[in-house]
Amino acid sequence: MSTGEENADSNGMNGDHERDPDEGSDHDSSGEDGPPRKRSGYQLGGIVEDSDECSQASPYREYDPELDGDSDSDEARSPTPPQHKFTPLPPKPPIDPEACKALGNKYFKAKDYAMAVSEYTKALSVEPNSVTYLSNRAAAYITWNRYFEAYEDSKKAAELEPKNSKVLHRLVRICTGLGRPTEALDILDQISSFEAVTPQERAAPFAMQTHVKQAQDAVREGTTGSMAIHALEQAERGLAPGAEKPRQWQLLRAEAYLKMGNINALGQAQDTAMGLLRRNNKDPEALVLRGRALYGQGDNTKALQHFKEALNCDPDFKEGVKYLRMVQKLDRLKDEGNTHYKAGRMQRAIDVYTQALEIDPHNKQTNSKILHNRALASSKATRKTRALNLGKSGDWKASVSEYKSIKESNPEEPGLANDIRHAELELKKAERKDLYKILGLEKDANENDIKKAYRKLAIVHHPDKNPGDETAAERFKDIGEAYETLSDPQKRARYDSGEDLIDPNEMFAQQGGMGGFPMGGGMGGVQIDPEMLFNMMGGGGGGGGGFSFSTGGGGGGGNPFGGAAGGGGRRRGGGAPGGFPGGFGF
């Protein structure tokens, strides 16, 4: 009896040990004999047969609580709806990070760096803070010329183990290769806190940092841009193969090209800016950079568009505000100078052009245009000033010649025709008798001065006082003419202004005929005395002097001292006894 229990227990333990946990319920409900695995096979065979008879039927039926207690009743049993067949995916085997690392090392030695990175990444998916796996993947990235990813892995490894010399030295090399010399030197300082750092280890990042600083100083201090370019080229030699030039270095290089200012350099600056904008078309620094290149090439309209776009991206960007205002002011002054130039206001144009040149002395393209315009204005102003000064010195003939020469070279210059007419009038005035000089007076002499001078000179030069002097009569006549003109305010005003020298035919030509000028009315404001015009046109009779202004027949020489010499008309002012007009008695 005891032996039978041990066998049962034994059989039961064995049955329990071999049984699949998923088959326990079948073993309890079945009345068939035999081992559970074999019975399961029988059932599976029956299932397969049923499956052959109904290709769409499921090998399992759903549990129905109503039919569970009456399994022998076929009539009460309802058909089971078919289910979809499925094959469950086998569970993924667990990742062995060490195995992945070993496989990654094999790929690394075989120079298949992409697969090496893939295996190290699998290992890191299990142990993301493994310094070994991070370092291995960083080494693969470096050999694969993917330095930024190598930097990320090495940076994380250095944070996990701040005193891991191997990791830190690798990070120094990566920082130098990426163009980050300052960060590399800082890491070397970190290493020096727990181990010695040799000068050779500092040499590469220190040299790179020095070259970059030289380029920055060259641009900031306004020295030649070529020095900055040379310094940057020296710094770029320390970059890792395939590493991208740092953005700040590209901006610095473009600044140097702008400093150089020639056509090729401006084109290089544009290329640099376009490269940055292809990566980010909303980069305000790159937009301003390209705007400055366009401005340097003289395309101020497009330059302003780029400055405005930069401010749309960053309204507080000071460089954008600076260059926008500068170019707007420069354009405004240039246009103002051109307006003065076209209007003939040469000195004003010169002043405005000079202000424009002070805005940006480094802009060769725009400033060359402004300098050209100022030179033209200065040349014209100089020639006009010379013509004016010639007239002031009394050489109105040379003044007229200079004005006409300017007119030939610049026929459309406004105001020049008036300058020529004025100079010609002054020339006529200079060539006529100087009545003030005849009387020995200044042009600001008053009425009493004129009377005193006339009395004195008339007595001295009277023909009766100078017998035998053939010129006395002529001098006496000139004195009379001078007094007659200067003592009459209207005649004196016409004499001073030169109205008495105006050619009526010329006036009619300028005004397009009489044009409603009622004998002293129109003609551009020139007032002509009817009697004067009549005499100028030959309406008066004879008379020798031209200042006898008679309205009747011919005179006897026009001598105002000739009392009874004239006949057939009334002499203005009459003749005083003794021949002095105006009733002067001596």
Give residue limits of the domains in the chain. 376-425, 440-583
Res. 539: pLDDT tops 70: no
Q: What is the DSSP letter of 581?
A: G
422 — pLDDT class (breaks 50, 70, 90): confident
The whole-number pLDDT of residue 78 equals 62
Which contacts of 207-210 are long-range, i.e. CB under 8 A and separated by 24 or more positions?
A: 207/234, 207/238, 208/176, 208/179, 208/181, 208/235, 208/238, 209/181, 209/182, 209/185
What region, left, alpha or beta, does residue 413 occupy, with left being phi > 0 and alpha being psi -120 to 50 degrees? beta
Q: Which of 36-45, 488-497, 530-539 has the lowest mean pLDDT?
A: 36-45
C-alpha 134/C-alpha 115 separation (Å) is 15
> For 440-583, which CATH class?
mainly alpha
The whole-number pLDDT of residue 453 equals 87
Q: Which of 145-149, 297-301, 306-310, 396-400 has the lowest mean pLDDT?
A: 396-400
The whole-number pLDDT of residue 504 equals 55
CA distances from 257 to 127, 141, 231, 418 (A): 50, 34, 13, 51
The amino acid sitting at 540 is G
Helix axis angle, 165-177 to 181-192, nearest 10°: 160
Mean pLDDT for the chain overall: 75
99 — pLDDT class (breaks 50, 70, 90): very high
The whole-number pLDDT of residue 77 equals 60
More confidently predicted of 276 and 83: 276
The whole-number pLDDT of residue 73 equals 47
The residue among 331, 349, 352, 332 whose CA lies nearest residue 340 is 349
397 — pLDDT class (breaks 50, 70, 90): confident
Q: What is the pLDDT of residues 446-457, one digit of tens each?
A: 889 888 888 888
More confidently predicted of 410 and 363: 363
The amino acid sitting at 448 is N
The whole-number pLDDT of residue 506 equals 53
Over range 35-48, report the average pLDDT: 37
Residue 65 phi/psi, 5° resolution?
-65, -25
Res. 551: pLDDT tops 70: no
Over range 94-100, report the average pLDDT: 92
Counting residues of the chain whose pLDDT is more than 90, the rounded percentage is 41
User: How many Cβ atoms from other residues are within 10 Å of residue 436's Cβ?
Assistant: 19
Residues 6+ apart with CB under 8 A from 19: 27, 36
428 — pLDDT class (breaks 50, 70, 90): confident
Output the six-digit token pair for 14.
Answer: 């064995």
The whole-number pLDDT of residue 182 equals 96
> Is the pTM of the predicted complex or chain greater than 0.75?
no
The whole-number pLDDT of residue 251 equals 94
Looking at 393-470, list the stretches that DSSP marks H as alpha helix, in order from N- to C-terminal side: 396-409, 416-431, 435-439, 447-461
